[in-house]
Amino acid sequence: MVGADELRAAMRRFPAGVAVVTVALDDERFGITVASLVSLSLEPPLVGISIGLQSSIHEPLRRARRFAVNVLAGDQGGLAQHFARSGLPPLVAWTGIALRESALAEPLLEGALAWLECATQAEYEAGDHTIFVGSVESVELGRDEDGLAYARSDYHSV
């Protein structure tokens, strides 16, 4: 049987786009870096994200029933690293983070390549993660530059 370390080593060799998923719940903001964003359907517009059961954003995301996806630019590796750290208190996580206005509650990160605001349509338990399916309610394009990818345990502009 394949172990977690073997799978992790193999997947580190597979470049994946990087985004930050943000959630607002009860006047608190939450954010997490993901490399699991996937387009699931164009009609209707659906995306999927995979979030670990032990992640501090898991329950707020489940309860909020909405989230935003901030697709990161190639020069936003520091922002990706910031939201990849687990256990940051929400106040610390958002100190010094530039945000842009939104009609919805989810925080949108300034300088992203695109923003997708989603309503959670379904959840599927998958091992130690939950796959959240989001119905995309709005899309806004940001900068037209290289994107951020994660491979071999580091961020790369592509």
**How far, in Å, are 15, 104, 120, 123 from residue 25 at the CA level?**
32, 12, 14, 18
At 31, which CATH number?
A: 2.30.110.10
DSSP for 104-140, written as a single string: SSS-EETT-SEEEEEEEEEEEEETTEEEEEEEEEEEE
Cα angle 36, 146, 118; round to 5: 40
- Coil, strand or helix: which one is 6? helix
Residues composing the chain: 158
Helical spans, DSSP H, in the chain: 4-11, 58-64, 77-84, 90-94
For residue 108, give its domain range.
15-157
Asked if residue 84 is part of any domain, the answer here is: yes
pLDDT for 110: 98
Q: Is residue 57 part of a domain?
A: yes
pLDDT the model gives residue 101: 81
The per-residue pLDDT for range 76-104, each reduced to its tens digit, is 999 999 999 977 777 788 999 999 988 88
* In a domain? residue 64: yes
Whether the model clears a pTM of 0.75, i.e. scores above it, the answer is: yes
* Residue 94 near residue 43 (C-beta atoms within 8 A): no
The answer to whether position 101 is within a domain reads: yes
Statement: residue 138 has pLDDT above 80: yes
Q: How far is CA 51 from CA 7, 48, 54, 111, in A?
A: 17, 10, 9, 24
Give the pLDDT of residue 83: 96
The residue type at 62: R
5 in a domain, yes or no?
Answer: no
pLDDT at 118: 98
Section 3-9 average pLDDT: 94
Total number of domains in the chain: 1
pLDDT tens-digit map of 104-132:
899 999 999 999 999 999 999 999 999 99
For residue 6, being part of any structural domain is answered with no
In a domain, 9, yes or no: no
Q: What is the pLDDT of residues 24-47, one digit of tens each?
A: 999 999 999 999 999 999 999 999
Q: Is residue 8 part of a domain?
A: no
pLDDT at 74 over 90: yes
Provide the mean pLDDT of the chain: 95
Segment 1-21 mean pLDDT: 95
d(CA 70, CA 57): 15
Q: Which residue has the tokens 């309503």?
A: 119
